[in-house]
Chains A and B, each alone.
Chain A
Amino acid sequence: MRATPWATIPGFSITSEVPLHPVVEREQLSPNVVRLVVEAPRIAKVRRPGQFVIVRKGPGGERIPLTIADNDPEAGTITLMIQAIGASTTELTALQVGDAIQDVAGPLGRETDLIASGHAVCVGGGVGTAVLLPIVRALADKGVHVTSVIGGRSKDWVILEKELRACGDVVVCTDDGSYGRHGFVTQALKDLLEAGGVDAVYAIGPVPMMKAVSEMTLPYDVDTTVSLNAIMVDGTGMCGGCRVTVAGETKYACVDGPEFDAHSVNFQELADRLTTYRSFEQQALARQADQEAKGACATTEVQA
C-alpha cells in the first residue's frame, strides 16, 4: 500500500522546491583538499565570513558541516574547501563539474568578530587555511594589516598561498622544509609575537595546532580566536552533539560559534569528543575501499 519505502533508505528523499546544487567549478588544491564552487543562491545572498553550511551529498548521505570560503551573490554560488578525511568527505571531493550535491543548508553559525584596524596574524593548518581565507579577506577589506602563517606537511600540502598573498603578508612553513620555513606554524607565530604589534590572532586548523597557538599567545595577552570543528547533526542547536566547554560553560559550536575565544576553550575535551566515531570512520573507509576494489574487478571482468 505504501508509496515509497522511505524507511528502507537511510535518510529520505522527498519532493523539494529546492533544486539540486550543481558543482560549477572544481580545483584540486592539495593531495586531499578540493575546492568546489556550487550553486546555492539562497545562501550566496546572505552568507557572512565565518559561517558554514551543512552538506548532504544525496539520499543516505551524512550531514557534513563545511565552512563557506567565499560567496558570489550575483552568480548565486558559494565556495567550499573539502578535505578528504572520512568516507563522506572522500565522496564529496570526488565530485566533478556537472555533478550535484542534494542538500546544502545554511548559512549557519555566527559571523566572525573582526578587529577593525591594526595587525592581525592568521594561522592556518591543513584545510584550516581554507576556512581562514574568508576571514583574511574580510580583515584586508577593512584595512587591517594581515600576516597569514600557513603550514603543511610538505610543499604539496600548502594551499591558497596566492589568494592569501593578495590580502597581505604570508609566511609558509613546512614540516619537512621542502618549502618556506622549516618547522611548525607556531614557531613562525612566536617570532611575530616577539616582534610585537600584534593586535589579534585567528587560528584555524587541527585541534593540537589551535591548542598550541592558544598557549603561545596567552603570555603575550593577544586576543585569539579559533574556529571549532565539532561533530554535529543539524547545525541549528537541536542535537547538542557539538557541545564544547568555553570558560567553564557548555556552548554549542553550531549556534554559539563556530568561533570562540581560544584562551577559554577546553581543547582537551574537544579533541576527545572528536574521536567519538573513530572506529565507525575506519570501518566506513575500509568499506569504501572494498567497494572500489570490487568495482574495479567488475570493470575488468566486463572488459575481459
Chain B
Amino acid sequence: MTEPASPVPAGEDGTEAPKAPLSNKERMQIDRVAMPEQAGDLRAHNFEEVNLGLSYQLAMLEAERCIQCPKPFCVDGCPVRVDIPRFIKSLREGDMAAAAESLLNDNALPCVTGRVCPQETQCEGVCIRAKKGNPVAIGYLERFVADWAQANLDQLPRHEPVLTGKRVGIVGSGPAGLTAAGELAHKGHDVTVFEAFHAPGGVLIYGIPEFRLPKDIVQAEVDRLVADGVKIEVDAIVGRTYTVPELREDFDALFLAVGAGLPVFMNVPGENYKGVYSANEYLTRVNLMGAWNPESETPVLHGQRVVVVGGGNVAMDAVRTARRLGAAEATIVYRRSFDELPARKEEVHHAKDEGVRFELLTAPEEVIGDENRWVTGLRCSKMELGEPDKSGRRRPIKIPGSEHVIDCDLVVVAIGTRANPLLTGSAPELQVNEYGYMIADEWGMTSMPGVFAGGDIVRGAATVILAMGDGKRSAQAIDSYLKGVWPPEGVDPRGGEKAVTAG
C-alpha cells in the first residue's frame, strides 16, 4: 500500500508557505503540477494505487494557483457543491484542520471523490483558469486534504448534533446512500443503512478496483460515518429480507439508493460459454471477494488474452484488472471511435500506458468456443460512423465483409447495467418508468410519501459523484420533510444548500 506523501500536521507549517500573498499575476504563472504515479510497466502487474498523491510541497504550490474567484464557477460545477475556494484558501494558509473541516462539511466521501470524480467535466472543466491553460488541479487538492483528514481525525473538531429522535432508513450503501447517511447523521437523525452484500460501499468496493480506489480508504470513510452514529446492517436484501412497506412502518423516512445493478449482456450466440463474464461478476470476484489475491477462497478465471467489450469507465477498470491478473494481451473492443469513448480520459490514458490494446469501431457478433465450450475467440465486424442517433453520438454502421475473429480466452462484457427489480417488486406502490427506474421528483421523493430515491436507480447508470449529489440533496429534503417543512426551503435540488445571503 502506498503511503500518501508526507502530510504535514496542522500547526507545523509556516516554513513552506510563502511569506507574502502572491498577486494573481504571479499565481497565473505557476504551472499545474503533475500527479506522481506508478510507472505503467510496473503498475500493470500490481494492484497498488496508480496515483500516488501530491506531496505537501506540490499541494501547497498547486493551491497557490487558485485565484479565489468571487463568483467561483467550480462550486457550481460540483454536484455536491463543495466550497472549493474556501478549502484551497485554508490549505495554502497551512491550516490543514480548517481545510479538512470545510471539505468534510460539504462532502461526505472526499477521499473517494478526490480519486474517482471526472473533475475535467465538472469543477476543473469550468475553472476560470481552464480558459487560458490548465485548470487548478482541484481533484488532486481534494484528495490531499481528504487523506490528511482521514489520518488526523483527532485534530478535527467534533460536532455533536442535537438528536431529533427521527429514524431514517437508507437502502444501499453505495455513494448515494453513504452520502445521505452522513448528511442525515450530522443533522441529528438516527440513521440505519441496509446493504445486501456482506460489506458496505456498494460500487466503491465491488466495482471500482483497488488500484484506483483502495478498499481501506473506503472502509475508513465508512468507519468515520459509523463513528458519527450511522448504523449499517449488512446481508439485508430489501425486497427479500425486508420489504419497502415494512421499512416504511419502522422509519420516519426512507432513502432508496440501490443502484442499477443488473448486468446487460450482448445477446449474441455463445455468450454463455465458460469464460464470458459480466463486468459486474468479474470485478466483484476480484474486488469484493478479493480474488486478485491467490489466497482468496473465491476463484476468478485468469485469461491470457482478454477482450473487454465496452468503452466506459467500467470497461477500463475491467481491462486494467485483466492486465494485473496476468493477461499478456488485454483488449478493449468498442463499436465507436476513440472520440466517443465514454470513459474518463485519464482512465483511457492509464490503460494505454499499461499496454491495453484498443480495437475501436469494432462490434462483437458471436463468442466462439471450443468443443468443451470454453471461449476461444470473439467474432467481430468493423464499423463506420453514420448519422448521430438519439444520444447525439454518431451511430455505428457495420461494414459488410469486415468480419474477423479476435482470439481470446476470456470475454468481459461491460456495456452497461440496468435497474434491478428486486426492491421495486416488493413495493407495487413505487412508480417506475418503462425501464424499471424509479420515478422521483426534484427532491427525490417517490410516489410513496416519505420515501425518497436517488443515484443510479433513478437516473440510470451514472457516476459516483452524481449519485452523491442525489444523496446530499435528498438528505436535505428528508431533513426538511421530517421537520414538517414541505416543499423544502433553502435546499438546492441540484444538491447542496443554497447560500443564505442577506439582502
Contacts and interface: CB of A to CB of B under 8 A. Distances in A.
A234 B301 CA distance: 17
Given A10-B290, A14-B232, A14-B234, A56 B198 contact: yes
21 contacts: A2-B1, A6-B219, A11-B298, A15-B223, A17-B232, A18-B234, A42-B242, A60-B295, A105-B196, A105-B197, A107-B240, A233-B285, A239-B263, A241-B278, A243-B265, A245-B272, A269-B272, A272-B372, A272-B373, A273-B272, A284-B299
Interface in A1-26: 1-7, 9-18
Please provide the 4 A-B residue pairs with the shortest distance between their CB atoms, ordered closest to farther: A10-B290, A10-B296, A280-B299, A1-B151
Chain A interface residue bracket vs B: 35 or more
A303 to B, nearest CB: 29
A275 B374 CA distance: 10
B15 interface: no
Given A239-B278, A280-B299, A1 B289 contact: no
Nearest to B205: A12
A12 B219 contact: yes
B379 to A, nearest CB: 19
B241 A105 contact: yes
B237 A105 contact: yes
Contact of A63 (B147, B150, B237, B298): B298
Contacts of B222: 14-15
Interface in A81-137: 87-88, 102-108
Given A60-B295, A243-B272, A11 B290 contact: yes
Given A6-B216, A43-B241, 11 more contacts: A3-B223, A10-B293, A14-B222, A16-B232, A62-B289, A103-B234, A237-B422, A239-B281, A239-B284, A241-B277, A273-B272
B226 interface: yes
Contacts of A241: 277-278, 281
B234 A234 contact: no
A104 B235 contact: yes
Contacts of B299: 277, 280-281, 284
A104 B236 CA distance: 9
A240 B234 contact: no
A243 B296 CA distance: 24
A243 B271 CA distance: 10
Contacts of B272: 243, 245, 250, 269, 273
B139 interface: no
A166 interface: no
A206 interface: no
A61 B218 CA distance: 20
Contacts of A1: 3-4, 7, 147, 150-151
B195 to A, nearest CB: 9
Nearest to B283: A239
Chain B interface residue bracket vs A: 35 or more
A234 B207 CA distance: 13
B214 interface: yes
Nearest to A14: B199
B366 to A, nearest CB: 15
Nearest to B289: A11
A255 interface: yes
A238 interface: yes
B261 interface: yes
A243 B265 CA distance: 11
A273 B274 contact: yes
Contact of B297 (A6, A240, A273, A284): A284
Contact of A2 (B200, B217, B275, B277): B217
Interface string B74-97: 000000000000000000000000
Given A6-B215, A87-B297, A272-B373, A14 B241 contact: no
Query: In this complex, which of B4, B7, B232, B290 has the most chain A Cβ atoms within 10 angstroms of its Cβ?
Result: B290
A236 interface: yes
B237 A3 contact: no
B192 interface: yes
B288 A11 contact: yes
B1 A42 contact: no
Contacts of A245: 272
Query: In this complex, which of B216, B233, B240 has the most chain A Cβ atoms within 10 angstroms of its Cβ?
Result: B240
Interface in A207-262: 233-241, 243, 245, 250, 255
B263 A240 contact: yes
B409 interface: no
Interface string B419-431: 0111000000000
B262 interface: yes
A103 B233 CA distance: 11
B219 A4 contact: yes
A286 interface: no
Nearest to B295: A10
